Structure 1
Amino acid sequence: LRKDGWYLIISNHMSWTDIVVLGHLFRDRLPVPKFFMKHELIYIPLLGLACWGLDMPFMRRYSREFLLRNPHLRGKDIETTRNACEKFRHIPTTVINFVEGTRFTEQKRDAARSRYRHLMPPKAAGLAFTLAAMGEQFDSLINVTIRYPDNAETPFKDFLMGRVKRIQVRIEELPVDEALIGDYFNDKQFKRGFQEWLNQRWQEKDEVLEGWQSGQAPLPVAAKSGEESKESAEANSAN
């Protein structure tokens, strides 16, 4: 990994603590990270202003029902992604995307009818657009899986109170394949293939998280089939 390169990180989202964890793990290894953040976070005292000052892109997330009532707002999140990517082209950057769009809870999982046991369904559109806009510029794609084994219920509160003693993180560096760069909005075949690729990555994450929970982390599907990523690492980080 290089601090003068361009990288795209995708990760599951368990807690606001994820931001601290990713920042700590990559602070001396990658360029300054840029998070795609929910617009509501801009109103959090200090944090929102700091993120705005660091030029983090804030995304507005609308429900399907809201968009049906306000169709003129459809595609606003993609417009924000487009503007952010234009800025990121000119200086080494790490783009971090929590592609689930929200923090995981069992209640949200059930409401979304997620096929996964420990994850929300991934949202492909923003990620696909980022790759289309900057894919050739990214040195690699970094796939991160995070879990707080002893603090699953309130990880951020426990983190602030010094109760988090163990964090499980898996980091996998993947090449940005040409097959991941295409017109997600107008090419139905590419869209279907991209969604299948992302769903496969999330299935692998789900297996890793299930393995951690049961006490034995399985190899990812890609490793089982003999395909090799550039680098795969598993780390335990203590607070």
Structure 2
Amino acid sequence: MSTVRGLVSVLLLSLTTLFWGIPLVLLTLLKLVTPGRRLRRRVLDGLHGVALAWIGSNLWWIRRWLAPDLETRLPDGLSRDQWWLVLSNHRSWTDIFLLFLALHRRLPMPHFFVKRQLIWIPVVGLAFWAMEFPMLRRLTREQRARHPQLARRDREATERMCRHAQERPIAIYNFVEGTRFTPAKHAAQGSPYRHLLRPRAGGTAQVLSLLGDRLGGILDITLYYDNPAPTFWGFLCGQEGRVVLDARRLAVPAWMLHGRYHDDPDYKERFQTWLNALWQEKDAWLDSP
């Protein structure tokens, strides 16, 4: 029965993606030939509307067909009229839909830092590109040292998103660990945390320095799964069990607003210390959610 549930879930997800993919492709083609940023912004508003409709359609059947056991703990004061930076740990592709379940229509249009390879996913990759999500290479320290021009392109992609974000409120979601948690990755990193991978600070610091004075706050989210090895297929089969999504609202410290993470070693060290402390608190919470 669980396999049948999973297959039906895949069918429903595919149907909503194909249905909303038609206006997505048409608007993307229109955006390519539209002159001027002001007119392209109107097309982009249409693309955002399509994306929100795709999210809403999927949440409709997820709530009714899968009825996930999700316990949400949200702070007061969330608004669609403010800019937000959302930080979260990362366990599974399921995380994205859980964030949507908790925050859809409570925050403005979501923008994700996404891996560049995801551009090849049919329809979804096109949506990432058309809506100007920063598509990053997630380079290792050694790769950044050998190819600094690639790291610079990633920073430029983030700068473009933040520059365009000043036109309208958005919520920027960042899975700060850069990849999904697995025991093998945890061991390979020598992570000092029991339940988390090491956080990467660069993208977060860049957003805060470029948009910090506009942000309504930082939304720090911790995801806990009863299932020690969650998978997206397990979620589609309705087998993940209880999940807790705990969110707390953090103010943006004044010292973050004007720093240059990649050029100022003192600022870089201070920011990494702040993020590590945040991850230590998150790790302790995961001991007893």
> Which is worse superposed, 154-163 or 166-175?
154-163
- Which residue in the other structure is 1:167 paired with? 243
Alignment match of 2:161 (pick from 84, 89, 98): 84
Length-normalised TM-score, structure 2? 0.69
Q: Look up the equivalent residue of 2:254 and give its one-letter code.
A: E
Relative to 1, partners in 2 of residues 1:66 and 1:192: Cα closer, same or farther, differing over 3 Å? Answer: closer
List gaps (5 residues or longer) in structure 2. Answer: 1-77
What is the rounded CA distance, in whole Å, between the counterparts of 1:52 and 1:16 in structure 2?
Answer: 19
Give the equivalent residue in structure 1 for 2:232: 156
Contact 1:60 1:76 in 2 (8 A): no
SS in 2 for 1:169: strand
Return the alpha-carbon distance in structure 1 between the equivalents of residues 264 and 144 of structure 2: 23
1:16 paired with 2:93, answer: yes
Which secondary structure state, in structure 1, belongs to the residue aligned with residue 215 of structure 2?
A: coil
Pairing partner for 1:51 from 123, 128, 134: 128
In structure 1, the partner of 2:221 is 144
Cα offsets for 1:22-43 (capped at 9, x unmatched): 1121112110110111111111
**Contact 2:134–2:157 (Cα < 8 Å) also in 1:** yes
For structure 1, which segment, 33-42 or 48-57, has the greater mean C-alpha deviation from structure 2 after superposition?
Answer: 48-57
Structure 1: where are the runs of 5+ without partners?
213-239
Q: Is the contact between residue 144 and residue 151 of structure 2 (CA under 8 Å) also seen in structure 1?
A: yes
Query: Aligned equivalents of 2:199 and 2:146: distance in 1?
Result: 24
TM (normalized to structure 1)? 0.83
CA 1:4–1:147 in structure 2 vs 1: closer, same or farther (change >3 Å)?
Answer: same
Note if 1:99 corresponds to 2:184: no
Moved more, 27-36 or 59-68: 59-68
- Amino acid aligned to 1:172: R
Which residue does the alignment assign to 1:194?
A: 271
- CA separation of 1:63 and 1:91: change in aligned 2, threshold 3 A: same
> Which of residues 188, 213, 217 in structure 2 aligns to 1:111?
188
How many residues matched?
211
Aligned to 1:75, the other structure's residue is in SS state helix
Give the C-alpha shift of residue 68 in structure 1.
4.0
Higher mean alpha-carbon deviation, 194-203 vs 45-54, is at: 45-54
Q: Contact 1:12–1:100 (CA<8 Å) still a contact in 2? A: yes
Amino acid at match of 1:202: W
Computing the radius of gyration from Cα coordinates, the structure with the larger value is 2
In structure 2, distance between residues paired with 1:68 and 1:199: 23
Number of the residue aligned with 2:283? 206
Residue of structure 1 aligned with 2:255, choices 153, 156, 179: 179
> Does structure 2 conserve the Cα–Cα contact (< 8 Å) formed by 1:142 and 1:173?
yes
Q: Once the two structures are superposed, what CA deviation does each residue of 1:38-93 show, in whole Å capped at 9, x if it has no partner?
A: 11111123332333343322111222333344343232221111111111111110
Distance in 2, Cα, partners of 1:53 & 1:78: 19
Identical residues among aligned pairs (%):
41
1:4 aligned to which of 81, 101, 106: 81
Residues 108-165 of structure 1 deviation map (CA, whole Å, 9 limit, x = unaligned): 0111111111111111111101101100010111000002212x32421101112123
Distance 1:185 1:197 in 2: 16
Compare the two structures and name the one with the higher helix fraction.
Answer: 2
